[in-house]
Amino acid sequence: MQINDKTGVQDYQALSSRYETMKYNRCGKSGALLPAISLGLWHNFGFVDHIHNAREILRCAFDLGITHFDLANNYGPPYGSAEENFGILFKKDFRSYRDELFIATKAGYDMWPGPYGNLGSRKYLMASIDQSLNRMGLDYVDIFYHHRPDPETPLEETMIALADIVRQGKALYVGISNYEPKETAMAASLLKELKVPFILHQAKYSIFERGVERGLLDTLEQEGVGCIAFSPLAQGMLTDKYLNGIPEDSRAAKSFTYLDKENLNTHISKIQRLATIANKRNQKLSQMAIAWILRQPQISSVLIGASSADQLKENVKSLEYLEFSEEELRLIDEISK
Sites in the chain below the pLDDT cut of 50: 1-2, 7
pLDDT of residue 201: 98
Which run of H or of E encompasses 299? strand 299-304
pLDDT of residue 223: 98
Average pLDDT of the chain to the nearest whole number: 94
pLDDT of residue 179: 98
Report all structural domains of the chain as residue ranges with CATH numbers, in order of start.
24-236+296-308 (3.20.20.100)
Dist. CA 288–CA 282, nearest whole Å: 9
Please give the C-alpha separations between residue 89 and each of 51, 85, 95, 188, in angstroms, as whole numbers: 9, 6, 9, 34
Per-position DSSP letters for 233-276, written without gaps between them? TGGGTTSGGGTTS--TTSTTTTTBTTB-HHHHHHHHHHHHHHHH
What 267-271 contacts at long range (C-beta under 8 Å, 24+ apart), as own/partner pairs, is 267/208, 267/234, 267/237, 268/242, 270/208, 270/335, 270/336, 271/237, 271/238, 271/242, 271/243
246 Rama sector, left if φ>0, alpha if ψ -120 to 50, beta otherwise: beta
Q: What are phi and psi of 202, to 5 degrees?
A: -95, 120
Among 83, 135, 89, 79, which residue's Cα sits nearest to residue 110? 79
Question: pLDDT tens digits, residue range 311-329?
Answer: 999 999 999 999 999 999 9
Residue 66: strand, helix, or coil: coil
Say which DSSP state 19 is in.
T
Measure the N-to-C terminal CA separation of the chain; round to a whole number of Å.
Answer: 44
pLDDT of residue 188: 98
Dist. CA 213–CA 205, nearest whole Å: 9
Question: pLDDT tens digits, residue range 25-76?
Answer: 999 999 999 999 999 999 999 999 999 999 999 999 999 999 999 999 999 9
C-alpha 113 chain-centroid distance: 26
